[in-house]
Amino acid sequence: MQVSTTPSCRRLPAGRFFLALTLAAALASTAAAQSPYATTLVAHNGAFGGAALYNDPLAVLGEPTRVANNNDPVIGTAPYHIKIVEPAYNRDLAGNKIITTLSRKSNGGGYDYGFITVKFDQPIVDDPTNPYGIDLNVFGNSFYVGNGFVSDSSDMRAYNLVGGLFAEPVVISVSPDNVNWYTYANGPYGDTAFPTQGTQWSGAQHDATGNGWTSTPTDFTKPVNPTLDAVLGVQGQQLSAANAIGMYLNSGGGTGIDLAPTGFSSIQYVRVEATAQFRDGEIDGFADVRPMTLGDSLSITPDNVDAGTRLFFQQGADLAKSAVIADFSAVADLAKLTTAPLADETALAALAGKNVLTNFALEVTTLVGDAPVAFAADYRLGVSSDYAGDGSDLQILSWSDDAWSETSFTFDATAGMALLEDWTAGEAWLAIVQTAAAPLPGDYDDNGLVDGADFLAWQRAYGGSMPLPNETASPGIVDAEDLNVWKQHFGASGAASQAVVQVPEPSAVTLAVLGIVACSRRKFRLSHK
């Protein structure tokens, strides 16, 4: 059956008309609240795992699982939190199935391998400003192998990752239209790194209650730094689960997918499938990755530096514009860049009376332990979105030793960003301040341009004691010195005159014409008295 999406032109009774308006408004509101998760099951072939718990393709829709019910003969059916060392299985707290196994089924002469195709209710855009270029997260039930039995009562500080990553890869494909597809044949694969982390863990809460798992959700739309796979998934290491969770920086995990190799500007369909090589992996969900904004943190590693990875933090009010871009040329250890608006009351109070356009608190520390770390980076700082100048009226102030001081910078007017090069201080409190515009000499009508109209303004005021706007030669006396200033700056405009650019003096013909115009206007006024 086909459903028409063309509105009928038939007139509705008044009551139905207002009901239609109400429904339309409700639909518009629903459309505006788009989900970051896959919302529609488009296709599947039923080649799923043999267990009835894991054969429902609808289980992959919506938000990935954060808390599930156990189904264990020893520990019973009590709820447990999904974590990097204990993956999703069984059902959620409402009794719903939560993962689907992609397997195979016999077709008489071979096998059909399981697949699921889902759709998002909005396009997922290939956005280079997304963290590490990742645009899509795919969630399974992989996990890091620890040093023994684990439950919600386990102390993650004492529970270590020792056995690497347990993963069952599945192949991922993406499409903008469900017709043209790109397959990540060589990975990344679903149900691999990074295991799901559903909520935050607190050591203080564990010490107080015996259970450190909080109700604070992690961010499924934030990816884990891909280079950390070489750290977290190494067999034989003794990294505590608490430190590993800390390296996620509140990400909910998932396999990160960059759309750049596809050639698609955006996609809306995702397919996961088993193959002869890869089968029996599980899928829990999919998430559209969001841009980071001021207030977020991202990790940076030596491998990121070697790859030329840039860290972007967008302006919250306008995600198309960057608030901070960090280009690291060196970092001595696994590190993180934490960003936020400046909140220190003493530093803010010291800016009183200044026209502060925006401010930043940036800090680079070790990824684990928040210790100082050696690094070098270029910071690009976005000015307020309504600033349209060329940067000549800006100052960058840096807070140090309880005082603000001016910092050198260059300005990219096209991007609207100030560049601070070779920054090495771990903590940077910065403010972008707009200074009062210097007077434009010779601009006697104060319109930002030195032209013939300013000569007429000078002529009308000549010999008087009323100061002209932007009068710099002899303030309060309009005389020949003011005319010379006008000649020297004729043709200048705005901030360009601050550089004392050499401009040609007005020609004798120009002056003569202006004189004739002025005399004509004077005669006209006299003849009409």
3-state DSSP call for residue 456? helix
How many Å apart are CA 216 and CA 198, to the nearest integer?
9
Rounded Cα gap, residues 479 and 477, in angstroms: 6
Query: Cα separation of 514 and 518, whole Å?
Result: 6
**pTM for this model (two decimals):** 0.80
Side chain identity, residue 365: T
DSSP element (H, E) containing 27:
helix 14-32
Give the model's pLDDT for residue 363.
Answer: 98
Rounded Cα distance, 371 and 377, in Å: 17
d(CA 350, CA 402): 9
Whether residue 264 is preceded by a cis peptide bond, meaning omega within 30 degrees of 0, is: no
Task: Quote the CA–CA distance of 495 and 24 in Å, as a whole number.
Answer: 51
- How far apart are the C-alpha atoms of 83 and 199, rounded to whole Å? 8
Count Cβ atoms within 10 A of the Cβ of residue 179 and give its class: 0-12 exposed, 13-18 middle, 19 or more buried.
Answer: exposed
- For 476, residues 6+ apart whose C-beta sits below 8 A from its C-beta are 465, 467
What is the 3-state composition of the chain as percent helix, strand, coil, each rounded to the nearest 5? Answer: 20, 35, 45
Instruction: Give the integer Cα–Cα distance in Å for 423 and 38.
Output: 41
* Tokens of residue 496, six digits: 């360009």
CB 171 within 8 A of CB 275: yes
Compute how many other C-beta atoms are within 10 angstroms of the C-beta atom of residue 167. Answer: 21
R_g of the chain computed on alpha carbons? 32
Q: Where are the domains of the chain?
A: 38-290, 302-434, 449-493
Name the 3-class secondary structure at 404.
strand
Angle separating helix axes 452-461 and 508-527, nearest 10 degrees = 50
* Beta-bridge partners for 365: 336
| CA–CA gap between residue 16 and residue 1 (Å, rounded) | 26
Cα 246 to chain centroid distance, Å, stands at: 20
pLDDT for res 494 = 61
Task: Give 178's DSSP letter.
Answer: S
55 CA to centre of own chain: 36
pLDDT in tens, 84-100: 999 999 999 999 999 99
Question: HEC string of 346-395?
Answer: HHHHCCCCCEEEEEEEEEEEECCCCCCCCEEEEEEEECCCCCCCCCCCEE
Length of the chain: 529
pLDDT < 70: residue spans in the chain? 1-32, 437-438, 494-529
- pLDDT at res. 444: 86
Query: Concatenated DSSP letters for 80-137?
Result: EE-BTTB---SEETTS-B--EEE-EEE-SSSEEEPEEEEEEEEEEE--TTSGGG--EE
CATH number of 302-434: 2.60.220
Q: DSSP 3-state assignment of 19? A: helix
